[in-house]
Structure 1
Amino acid sequence: MSLTGRSIPVVRARETFLSSGDVPVDGVSGLVSASWQRSLAAGVSDLTNVLDRGYVADLDLRSRFVQCALPVIDRLEAELSDLAVSIALTDRNSRVLIRRDNQRLLGGRFDTVFFAPGFNYSEDDVGTNGVGTALASGKAVFITGHEHFAENITVFACAGAPIRDPLTGLIQGVLDLSCLAKDASPFMHSLAQQAARNIEIELRVSGSVHQQAVLERFLRVSRTGRGPVMSLGGDVFMSDTRANQQLLPQEKAYLREIATGLTGLRDSMVLDVELPTGRTARVRPETVTVGAEIAGVVLRVDLTAPEPRPRRAAVKAVGMPEVPGNSTSWRRVTGEILEAASTSTPMVVTGESGTGKLTLITAAHRRTFPTRSLVIVDCRGENPFAHLPATLAAARQPTLVLAHLDELSTDQADLDRTLESLSTDGWLVATMANPNSEGALPDIERLTPDGERLPLDSEREPLGEGPVPPDGHDHARSSRRACGRDPHSELEVVLRHFAGSISVPPLRHRLDDVPQLVSHLLGALAPRRTVACTPGMLRVLLGHDWPGNVAELRDALRTALTRRPVGDLRAEDLPETCFVSGGRRLTPIEAAERTAIVRALIQTGGNRRDAAELVGIARSSLYRKIQAYGIRVGQKLTG
C-alpha cells in the first residue's frame, strides 16, 4: 500500500485515540500506538502549540560525536541533492545540533515548527516524532503524516535512527531525514539507518585508545567482582548491573565525584566513604594506564564493609519534633547530637550556612537538659567573652555554644585561656562552616513579596555581640575567609578542647525531608492558620537545589504566605529564585530581568510565546535568557 493510501486509516485511528484514549487495534503500528500513549502520559496536551520549547544557543559542535557525524552527513547531503529532504543530527537529549536543507523552501517550513538547531524535539515535549520516538524506543522509526501526535507537524514525514557509541553501547543522538508527507518514501527509513551505522563506524575508528583500555578493565572487573563496579575514563562514566540495582542515583553521582579524585592513585588504596543516604561503602580504585599515561579508574564498591569508625558504638537514629526529618542521614545526625548531649561530650557541629546547626543544638539541649541554661556566644562579636565567666558562674551546668567559631573576631589564645579556666560540668558545643563545602557557596538572593531585592548575605553588616539568630543562618563572612586564609587550621589551639565533630548535611542531600520540613515550618510561620502546599508547589520545592538550605526554604515559605494570605499555597506564590538553579551572581538589572521573566512564565503557565509578549522581548531572546539564568518554569506547572 502506498503512503497516500495509508493516510485515511491513520487519521481515523488518531482521532479515535485523541477523543477516547482507546488504543487503536489497526491503522497504526504498535510502535506508533505505544508512542501515542507515552505522549499522552507525559502531558503533551496542547496539540497546536507543543513545539514552543526551550532554546539552547551554546551547542557543542566540536564534540567527538559531531565531528564523526559530519563526514557522513556531507556524503548523504550530496547523494540526496535532488530530493526535497532535510538531514538533521540531534544529541541524546533530543536537541537539534545540525540541519542541512536541500531546498530553501523546505527549510523555511521546518523553521516554522522549530525543528532547527538549538530546539528540543523530545517525545515528552513534542509527542510522537522521528527524533523523540527513536530515542524513547531505542529503535529506528519512520513517522509520517498523522502518525505524529501534534497536529502542526502532521504535514511532515521523518525517519530517525539512534546512533550508539560502540564503546559504551549508549545512545549518543539521532540521525533524522525529514520531508513533507506528500514527498515521503519508505526508503528514507533504510537510508537513515545506514547513515547512523556509518556514524557508528566513524566513532569506533576514532575511539580513544584510553577509553578502550578503561572499558576492557571495567568489563573484566565486572565479570570477576561480587559487588558494584563503576569506571570513569575521560567524560565516560559506566556502572554495571549490580551498581544500578544496589545503588541509588544520588549514591552513584557521589561515587562519580569520588572517582574523579581517585584517578591516578595506587591500586592498593582502600577508602571507606559515607554515601549521601547514610550507608557506608568501601571503595577500591584500580588505575588504568596506557603506556605512561593515565586513562581512567575502575572502582570496586563493597557495600558489606564494616563501618569506618569501629571504635564508636553505633548511634541509634532518633528523630526530634523540633528538627523534623525522616531521611537516614538526618536521623543519624540527630542520633549523634543526642548521644553527645547525653554524655556531655564536647562537639563541633559543622555544616553549610542555613542547615540549622544551632537549631539542632538547641533542640538536643532542651531534650537532654530541660532545666539547665543555654548560653550562646557569637564569636564574631567584639570581645565576645567579656562577660562569659560571670554568666557561667551564675548558671548551673549550662550548655555553652560557641557559634561561628571559625569566624572568631579575637585572638584564638584568648578563647583558649577562657576555656582552660572554665570549671563547668556542662556541655560545650561549637558551630563552624563545613570544611568540605567552605563558604564559597553563592549568596542567596532574596525578594520581598513585592519583588524588591533584599541585601545579599555578604552585603549585610556583621552581627554584633549577642546570640545568633535562632535559624542558625550565618549572615556574614570574616575578613580572613575573604582573604583566602583557612580559619580551621588557625583554630587548632582551640579545637583541642573538643572531642569530635558532627556534620549536618545540606538540604539538597536530604530532599526526602522537604515535605515534613514544609509542614513544620508552615506551622511555625502561621500558627493560627490551616495551610498546606498544592502538589504543583511541592514539585517546585523538591526540584530546587536549595543553596541556602533550610533558611532559604523558610524565607520562601514566608514569602508565599504573604503573597497568599488565605487558602493553600501554590507554585506561583513562591519567590522567583525558587524557579532558578545555580549560576553566577547577577547584577541588579539582571536580577530584575530574571524576576520579570519568571513571573511572566508563571502567569502564562509556562507558555514561552505568551511570556515573551508579556515581557516585551523577542522569543529568541527569551529562550537565551531562560538558559543563561537557569530558569526552570515549564508548561507542566500546575498548582
Structure 2
Amino acid sequence: MGDPLARRRELVSARAALLDRPDARLPGVPQHVAASWRRSIAGGVDPAMIANRFHPDLDTGSRLVRCARPVMEQLAEQVAGIGVCVALTDDRARLLVRLDTEAAIARAADGNAFAEGFGYAEGSVGTNGVGTVLESGRPVHIVGAEHFVEQLHDYACAGAPVHDPATGRVEAVLDLSCRAEHSSPLLLSLVRSAAARITDALLHDRDAAQQALFDAYARTESRTRRAVLAVGRRTVLANTAMQTLLGPGDHAALTDHARFLLLRGPGVDDRVDLPSGARARLRGAVVPVGGSVAGLVAVVTLLGEPPAGPVVPAAGPPPSRAGAAAPGAATTTGPAAGGGPARRSAAAAVAAALAAGTPLLVTGEAGSGRARLVRDGAPGPVVELAAGDDGADLADRLDAAGPDALVLARDLDRRSTPLPALPPGRRIAGTRSDTAAPDPARDAELTRFRASVPVPPLRSRPADLPGLVTALLAELAPGRAVRLSGAALRTLAAHPWPGNVAELRDALTAALGRRPVGTVEAADLPASCRSAPSATLRPVDRAERDTIVAALRDSDGNRAAAAAALGVARSTLYRKIAQYRITG
C-alpha cells in the first residue's frame, strides 16, 4: 500500500477524475470500490457531505437485535484497545444498535450521523461498510478515501451481511468502524466471524418444539424434491414445491387438517378432499419433543386435479409488448403481471420514481421484464429506443406522443451509438443488464440517470409465476377459453428459467400451438420445460432429452412403453430421466 498519505492522495485524485469524467479509468482503485463510486454518482450522492435521513419507527427490540446484542458485546470487548463503533443495521441500512468502545469515536459517529435510527444506504451516503455490503451482498472493508463522501475519509469500516438462516436472504449488516489509522485487515475477519455467529443465533432462537419441528422438516426436505409441509402449533413451513402445488384456499385447508392429524399418533397417511375439488395425500410423521408433540412433517401429493374451469381472458385486444410494438412506438399498458412480493416491490419503486420525474435505470437479467415494469409504471405514453436505434426521428416521435411521453432507452449495455439529446424537461428511463462488463463509452450514458431499481430474475420470484402465466395467456390467446392444469403449472414452477419471462412467453406460445383452447397439460409444454438439468446441456444431450420427452408424451407417461419405443432398457430410460431431471 505504501505511505498512507500518498495512498489517500491517489484515491482522492482518482475520485476527482471520475467525478469530472464518468468514463475515467481508475488504476489502483479496488474493483468493488470503483463499482460503488460509479453507483454513488449514478444515484446522485453528494460527495461533499452526508445527507441521510432519520427513521423514528425502527424496532430496536426485535428478535434480530436480541440475537445480535450478545455477539456485538463480545466483539466490542475483542476490539476494546482501539476506538471502535460496533453497529447493526436492518436490511435497509438503518442503524438499530451501536456500541462504542471510547467516547471519542462515539462523538465522531454522532457527528457523521452514524447513529441509531439513521440510514446509511449507499444511495444516500455513498461507499461505506453498510450500504455497500447490501449492494454487493458480500463483506467489504472500506478504508479512508475509499469512502465516496469526503466527510468519511478519516475513517475505516468493515461490514458483513447477516443472513436469515431459513431463507438465505440478507437480514442485516454488522459493521465495525474506527479511525483510518487504526484500521487493520483483522477487522474484516472479526466482523465476518461475528456476523456468522448472529446467523447461527437466529437459527437456534427457537423453543425446543420449534427446533425439533425445523430439524425434522429440514431432514425430510433434503431427501425429496416433492412438496413438503411442516405444521406446528404456531408454525408452518413449506418448500417451493409445496407453495406452488396448491392455491391459497387449498393450502389453508390442508394446514388445518394437518393440525387435526397431530392428535392421531406417530404415523400419518391420509387423503384430504380440498375446497377446489382436488384431492391430496399427506404421508409423514408426528414430531415428538419431550412428552408432547412439536408438530407434523409430511410429503404432499396431489391425487386429483380440481375440475377444469376455463379461465376466460378479459375482452379487448392484448396488451402491448416490446417485441410486438413498432420500433419507437408510443405504448401504454395495464397493470403489471405477477403478484409476488419481489415484483410488487420493484414495480412500486419504478412507479414512484417515474411519477416523481426521476431519471430511472432499471437493471436485471435479459428477459426479466425490465422494460415492461417501466411501461406499466409510466404515468403517460412511452417512446422506446432499442439498442440499435440511433434516434434520428426521435423528435418527431415525441411530438406525436405528446408532452407527457417518457423516453425508454432499452439495453443500454448493448447500444452501438450514444443516446440522442433530449428536449429540455423530457423524462427518461433506461434498462441495463446487471452483469454488464465495464465499458467506458456505454457507461458514460449512466450519468443521465439519478436512481436505479433492480428486477430479480424469474427463478428468484416463484410467487410471480401463476400471475405471469395468467397475464401471458390473456395476451397470447385473447378471448379464448384457455388455462393451465395444475400439473402444467408445477412443471413450469420446477424450471429454472434462464431466459426469464421471455422464455416463459416462448414456452406458452409453443404450448398454445399444441393446445389452442381448453386446458393446457404438462405434455403440451416444450421439452425444455419438462427437465431441469443441473448443468448446461450439449446439443446432443438436448436432442436425447427431447426424444425421451416425446416418447413419454406419446405413451401417456408409461415408462415401460416409452423404453420399448426407444429401444432401450427400462433401467437406461430411468437413468436418463434422472440425469435430465425430466418431470413428466
Whose radius of gyration is greater, 1 or 2? 1
Q: TM-score normalized by structure 1?
A: 0.42
TM-score normalised by L of structure 2: 0.46
